[in-house]
Amino acid sequence: MSFKPQLSNPEVTVEPKLQQLLITDELNKLSAVLAVIDLLLYLCDLMSAVVSYKMIGEALVMIIFSALQLCVTISFSSLTLKELFKRNSVEDPQLYNQVKDVTVSHI
């Protein structure tokens, strides 16, 4: 017997808030900077004069993981920015409201 939760209205989608998207983008920028610093530190460690084969292997694995972190961060950041630009477009009814024509008569 399996339990399937039923939504009251399955057509309703939850849109992320603008502030959440901005915070996500800032955290992605921070993560990208940390990944670049990580890459540079492991490359400096790899280029040091006194290293053993075990240390070379560990440094190479960490370089690969740091590069993967950088790629994932850039991908998520591009998706976040794409959503932000789509949200800021003219088609968004929350951000674009027509100005009503109001006639003002001066007495």
pLDDT (tens digit per residue) in 10-46: 565 656 678 888 888 999 999 999 999 999 998 888 8
Task: Indicate whether 51 belongs to any domain.
Answer: yes
The total number of structural domains that make up the chain: 1
Q: Is residue 6 part of a domain?
A: no
C-alpha distances (whole Å) from 104 to each of 97, 98, 100, 107 are 21, 18, 12, 10
Residue 35 lies in a domain: yes
Does the residue 7 lie in any domain? no
| Separation between Cα atoms, residue 66 and residue 86, nearest integer Å | 30
This prediction has a pTM of 0.63
pLDDT of residue 58: 86
Comparing 99 with 87, the larger pLDDT belongs to 87
pLDDT of residue 88: 61
Cβ-defined contacts of 67-76 (< 8 Å, 24+): 67/35, 67/39, 69/31, 69/35, 69/38, 70/32, 70/35, 70/36, 70/39, 73/28, 73/31, 73/32, 73/35, 74/28, 74/32, 76/24, 76/28
pLDDT of res. 53:
78
**Domain membership flag for residue 13:** no
User: Tell me, what's the pLDDT at 1?
Assistant: 52
pLDDT of 68 above 70: yes
Residue 28 lies in a domain: yes
Containing structural domain, residue 31? 18-87
Q: What is the DSSP letter of 14?
A: P
